[in-house]
Each structure stands twice: as C-alpha cells, then as structure tokens.
C-alpha cells in the first residue's frame, strides 16, 4: 500500500527542501521549524470550551501545563494527561495544541498537556521526572481541576508515547497510585537505539529519519547512560503485568513501527488488555496532519472513541 496520497506531497516537499538538519543548526531553529510545520499540517481553528495555562511546582522549577475543557462541558469530567512528541528535544504546548483540542472535544474529557523540560538543556531523566510529577499533581488536585481522580488516562505521541508508557509503569509499581485507567500510545518510542526491520526500511524519506533520532538521543542521553533502563526503554521492563488497558497505534511507514508493535505484543503476553492498531499508509506524526488527510482525522476520532469507552462507569 502506498503512502496516503494526501500526505505524499508533504514528503515530496520535505525531500526538495534545503532546510539544514537539526544536528547542524541546533535545537532552537529546529524547534521553530517544527512549530511552523504544525501550522501547515494542523487545522487552523479547532474550537474548544476553554484553555488555561498554569504552572505547578516541578522537579526543576515551575512546570507549565495547559488545561483544555471541551465544548459544552458540565460537572466533574474525566481527564487525559498528555505528553507531546518531539524526540525529547523539540515540541511544546503549542505544537500539539490542536491535537489536544481534538481529543478533549471528541472524548468529552479534560486534557492536561505537560510542557516537560527538553534536551539538551535538560537531559534524561528530566522529562520523566516532569511527566511523573505532573501526573501526581493532577491526581492530587483533581477537585480544583474539576475532574474525577479515579478516571485518569495518559496519552502521547512518539517521545510522548514513551513517557506515557513509562509513567504507566511507574504508577503500577508505586504504592498508592496514581491510578491510571487507560494509556493511549501513539507511535511510541519504546526502545532506545533499536535496530528493527522498520528502522532499517524507513530510515530515510518518511518524515522521521534515523539520523534525526540519533541526534535526539545524543541530546537526551547523559554520557554513559544505561539504555536498558526501563524509564528510557519501557519495552525492556522485566514485568509488564498489571498495567492499565492500552491502545497502541503505529504507522506503516514509520521507523518506530516495529518497536511499537513489540510493546503491544509484550503487553498482551503479560495479560494486559491491549488493542493494537496499525495505519499501513501513514507516516510518523500523522496524528498532527489532520488538515492534510481525512484518514488522519478519522484516526484521531477513533482513538478518542477508544479513550471514551475506557473510562470507568
């Protein structure tokens, strides 16, 4: 199956571009380029009931969050804690603002997006520490947020999918919670420096490239870091039993496809209620390409439906 014809022109445009790669220009310009790309591939206007930017105490100082309340919301709502993608180096609250709006509206829940610290300014485990701190803060402040603390879910794409898997493991192993009812893992990175077949097949020319991922890891990992640490590589955790219900989504033309599938398989083998969904004509990042592809837009809606169905009664 070829790449979605609505998305192929983007790949053609990127192939013809003379924009320098991130490892040549550094994180700052790459972050700006990433924001500009999202302005092109995301819808221009997605109404939402309310957004509120707040800061909470974090391990490294003030930790920014953005709280989304869906249209026509009333009473105590379910809550999704969202971690954006970007290789732990790029991405922020604005780059994934549209996706968070879509998930909030489609699932009828509040979404709390986390602006965790980025590398290389803040190396591992800063992002994990921020993600964990934000999740615990949301549970502890559920009343003030107008949410049900018993109905917390986590979600993220790519590096954010990694963080979602990691905090789900941390929560399962922690005494007293937080209690997570669902994890939505969107083309998650589950093993550092993996060398899967999909990593080889789609190393170049499909939006996310292997050399870019290597640069991300050079930025993110401290010297001498053990890459088997499950906070980096959740696929390598010894025990995945007892984790919350999961939906794992992959894209057919994504270097991360095989490690996402491997994580879904391990969850299933560990007795976790997991659904695996591959979109064979899609590329990495397609959840942020709903302005380009009707199928990408439907995929976001389907993920939100699964989230909504997973909420406890």
36-40, 47-51, 170-174: the lowest-pLDDT one:
36-40
| Confidence bin at 21 (pLDDT 50/70/90) | confident
Cα–Cα dist 17/188, whole Å: 27
- The model's pLDDT over 185-204, given as tens digits with 9 standing for 90+, comes to 999 999 999 999 999 999 99
158, 164, 198, 293: the active-site residue: 158
- Assess whether pLDDT exceeds 90 at residue 231: yes
- Assess whether pLDDT exceeds 80 at residue 75: no
Mean pLDDT of 83-104: 97
Kindly give, in sequence order, each residue whose CB lies less than 8 Å from that of residue 121, ignoring residues fewer than 6 positions away. Answer: 27
Superfamily of domain 8-310, CATH level 4: Alpha/Beta hydrolase fold, catalytic domain (3.40.50.1820)
- The model's pLDDT over 142-162, given as tens digits with 9 standing for 90+, comes to 999 999 988 899 999 999 999
38, 84, 96, 284: the active-site residue: 284
Kindly give, in sequence order, each residue whose CB lies less than 8 Å from that of residue 38, ignoring residues fewer than 6 positions away. Answer: 94, 95, 96, 98, 288
- Assess whether pLDDT exceeds 90 at residue 45: no
The mean pLDDT value of the chain amounts to 96
- Boundaries of every domain in the chain: 8-310
- Assess whether pLDDT exceeds 90 at residue 32: yes
The token pair at 281 is: 């004509």
| Confidence bin at 72 (pLDDT 50/70/90) | confident
254 flagged as catalytic: yes
130, 254, 258, 281: the active-site residue: 254
295 flagged as catalytic: no
The token pair at 24 is: 């040549």
- Assess whether pLDDT exceeds 90 at residue 73: no
Mean pLDDT of 250-265: 98
pLDDT at 312: 84
pLDDT at 88: 98
158 flagged as catalytic: yes
């Amino acid at each position: 199956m070829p790449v979605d014809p609505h998305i192929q022109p983007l790949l053609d445009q990127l192939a013809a571009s003379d924009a320098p790669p991130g490892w040549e220009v550094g994180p700052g310009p790459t972050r700006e380029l990433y924001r500009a790309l999202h302005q092109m591939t995301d819808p221009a206007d997605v109404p939402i009931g309310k957004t509120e930017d707040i800061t909470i105490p974090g391990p490294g100082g003030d930790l920014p969050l953005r709280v989304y309340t869906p249209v026509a919301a009333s009473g105590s709502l379910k809550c999704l804690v969202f971690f954006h993608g970007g290789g732990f180096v790029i991405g922020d609250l604005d780059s994934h603002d549209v996706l968070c709006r879509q998930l909030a509206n489609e699932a009828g829940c509040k979404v709390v997006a986390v602006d965790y610290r980025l590398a290389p300014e803040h190396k591992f485990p800063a992002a994990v520490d921020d993600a964990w701190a934000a999740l615990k803060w949301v549970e502890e402040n559920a009343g003030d947020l107008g949410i049900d603390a018993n109905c917390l879910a986590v979600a993220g794409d790519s590096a954010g999918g990694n963080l979602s898997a990691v905090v789900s493991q941390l929560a399962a192993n922690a005494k007293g919670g937080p209690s997570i009812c669902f994890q939505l893992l969107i083309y998650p990175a589950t093993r550092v420096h993996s060398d899967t077949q999909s990593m080889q097949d789609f190393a170049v020319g499909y939006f996310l490239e292997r050399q870019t991922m290597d640069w991300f890891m050079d930025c993110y990992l401290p010297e001498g870091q053990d890459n088997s640490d499950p906070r980096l590589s959740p696929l390598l955790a010894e025990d995945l039993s007892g984790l919350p219900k999961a939906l794992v989504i992959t894209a057919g033309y994504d270097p991360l496809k095989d490690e996402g599938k491997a994580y879904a398989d391990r969850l299933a083998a560990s007795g976790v209620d997991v659904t695996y969904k591959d979109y064979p004509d899609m590329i990495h990042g397609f959840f942020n390409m709903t302005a380009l592809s009707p199928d990408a837009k439907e995929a976001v809606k389907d993920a939100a439906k699964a989230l909504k169905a997973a909420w406890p009664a």
